Amino acid sequence: MVASKDDKLGTYDYEFNAPREIANGIWWLPLCLRQVINGKPTHVHNAQYLIIGSEKTLLYDAGFPAQLPAIEAALDALLDGRELDFLVPSHPEVNHCSGTAPLLDKYPGAMVLGDIRDYALFWPNHADRLVHQPIGSLVDLGSHKFRFVDAVLKDLPSTQWGYEESEQVLFSADGFAYSHMPPVEDDDRPAHEPGECSLLATELPKAPQDDQIVWITKAALYWTRFVKIDRFKEQYEQMAAEYPIRLVAPAHGAIIDDPMILDLVWEGLGHAYSPSGSGVMAGTEGIEKPH
């Protein structure tokens, strides 16, 4: 299903894809934004993840309004009469949380978990359904265990990642984001094949290239223009030592199912660092820094 849109971003459309079970009881709901960027057709996921435990269910991220019909249809099919028990917006940004109130209306027993600062201002009618969950806390879904972990690469101060222990899946929100339209050298014809929006990273024709990683990193994690990423990799490795990671499930990119591809993404993240060029964009070039 495709929905078109014209606005200040130019002409783009959404491609709604069928949910895919990426691990036992864990479903990927991959919507793709299709847009021409720098003259090239580009696809970027805006995905949610549903965990269906034996006792409880949990949705990580709530999407944005254009996604709601597809999200609700997927939940109807996958839950098959069960309720959605928990909703975890990774952070208060439109693409990640603006579907929260409609989903709370659809599932009157669902609770919002996580870093809930400011959420009562967004959804005052649902303030009694917001439950703070500190980093390290565990949500028991029966067969599955969802743990709140600190976001190594934060979009906003309240960003929270999640980790499902039985299947070793890390839900990383804007962390490790990339597009999945491989650039074709000296060829401007579309290279994206039907069905690629639902493929794992190793199933795509090529591993992600620098330009697929850098531009979305600069957009989603603006601070990476000014801060070298190396200092965060050690923190990630410490977390991965405590919580072994088999799959990395970002909001904006295919599921990373190979450590070598994750290494490539880390390398690309480092190339977002461009303080001089970013200073021009911010209007700060030439301003003398304090000593």
Rounded distance, CA 205 to CA 227, Å?
Answer: 31
Domain that holds residue 22: 2-282
Is 249 among the domain residues?
yes
Question: Strands, E, within 115-216: which ranges?
Answer: 130-132, 138-140, 145-150, 160-164, 169-173
Residue 23 lies in a domain: yes
Max alpha carbon distance in the chain (Å)?
63
Q: What percent of the chain has pLDDT over 90?
A: 62
Confidence of residue 274 (pLDDT cuts 50, 70, 90): confident
The answer to whether residue 228 sits within a structural domain is yes
Confidence category of residue 281, pLDDT binned at 50, 70, 90: very low
Residue 182: inside a domain: yes
pLDDT, tens digit, for every residue of 43-93?
889 999 999 999 999 999 999 888 899 999 999 999 999 999 999 999 999
How far apart CA 28 and CA 39 sit, in angstroms, is: 29
> Residue 258 domain-assigned?
yes
Task: Please report the pLDDT score of residue 199 as a whole number.
Answer: 93
Both tokens assigned to 250: 């970002």
Residue 291 lies in a domain: no
- Residue 78's CATH number: 3.60.15.10
Residue 182 pLDDT: 58
**Contacts of residue 101, Cβ cutoff 8 Å, sequence gap at least 6:** 122, 123, 125, 126
Q: What tens digit of pLDDT does each residue of 212-250 get?
A: 888 888 888 888 889 888 889 999 999 999 999 999 999
Q: What is the pTM of this model?
A: 0.89
Q: What angle do CA 223, 228, 233 make, to 5 degrees?
A: 105
What's the pLDDT at 184? 55
Q: How many residues does the chain have?
A: 291
Question: Which secondary structure element, helix H or strand E, spans residue 11, and what is its range?
Answer: strand 10-16
Q: Structurally, how many domains does the chain consist of? A: 1
What are residue 128's phi and psi, to 5 degrees? -75, 0
Indicate whether 261 pLDDT > 90. Answer: yes
pLDDT tens digits, one per residue of 193-204? 777 889 999 999
Q: At what angle do helices 210-220 and 259-270 cross, to 10 degrees?
A: 60
Question: So what's the pLDDT on residue 278?
Answer: 52
Q: In which order are the strands placed within the sheet that holds 169-173?
A: 138-140, 145-150, 160-164, 169-173, 247-250
The yes-or-no verdict on residue 12 having pLDDT over 70 is no
Which residues fall within 8 angstroms of residue 124, CB to CB, at 6 or more apart? none
Kindly tell me if the per-residue pLDDT of 37 is higher than 50.
yes
The three state secondary structure string of 28-92 is: EEEEEEEEEECCEEEEEEEEEEEEECCCCEEEECCCCHHHHHHHHHHHHHHHCCCCCCEEECCCC
Separation between Cα atoms, residue 48 and residue 230, nearest integer Å: 28
